[in-house]
Homo-oligomer: A and B are copies of this chain.
């Protein structure tokens, strides 16, 4: 039986008790399970089986199922962030185009990896997990924040505008996942047009 270490280099099946990079392999297996079967399909035992180790092996790398979920969410946030940046960098570099690019990347990630998107936003306030995830999620939030910064009205609470933009896109993505409006992305641009209203400077008296 060939032991797939999950890495790109083909290593020999060393021995029975040192996988080499089991932690990464388990995360990879977990993402695959997630992609194939949704949130409920993510299971410690199935992860272990897919990585070719015994069912209790993951306990030595993560703090239980919640720990595995947090670890996968860290990887998920990283992909999320990179997706947003990729879309932003592909757009002309006016602040407005950049903001729109970020939002398009946001929606693209939700559509292309819905289960992973579900996972990273499945942690609730005041849980131990969301504290553990703080470090992994902060960079993604920073990307959103930065793209809103050029439109902050002077003297206003900077959190407001940022929260408005963020809520809009987050809510749209969530509603897409519920299938409420048949998801075609055909209406995305019409929808995102409201961003121009949100970022418009305050009316001068």
User: A: which residues have CB within 8 A of B?
Assistant: 38, 114, 118, 121, 123-126, 130, 141, 157, 159-160, 163-164, 166-181, 183, 187, 190-191, 194, 197-198, 200
> 15 other contacts beyond A160-B191, A170-B171, A170-B175, with CB at 8 A cut-off?
A121-B174, A123-B178, A130-B179, A157-B187, A159-B181, A160-B190, A163-B191, A164-B194, A166-B175, A167-B171, A168-B171, A169-B171, A170-B170, A171-B172, A198-B198
Separation of A159 and B175 alpha carbons in the complex (Å): 13
**Does B125 lie within 8 Å of A179, measured CB to CB?**
yes
Copies in the complex: 2
Determine the chain B residues whose CB is within 8 A of the CB of A124 once the complex forms.
Answer: 38, 114, 118, 177-179
**Chain B residues with CB under 8 A of A167:** 167-172, 174-175, 191
Distance from A66 Cβ to chain B, minimum over Cβ atoms (Å): 10
A159 to B172, CA, bound (A): 13
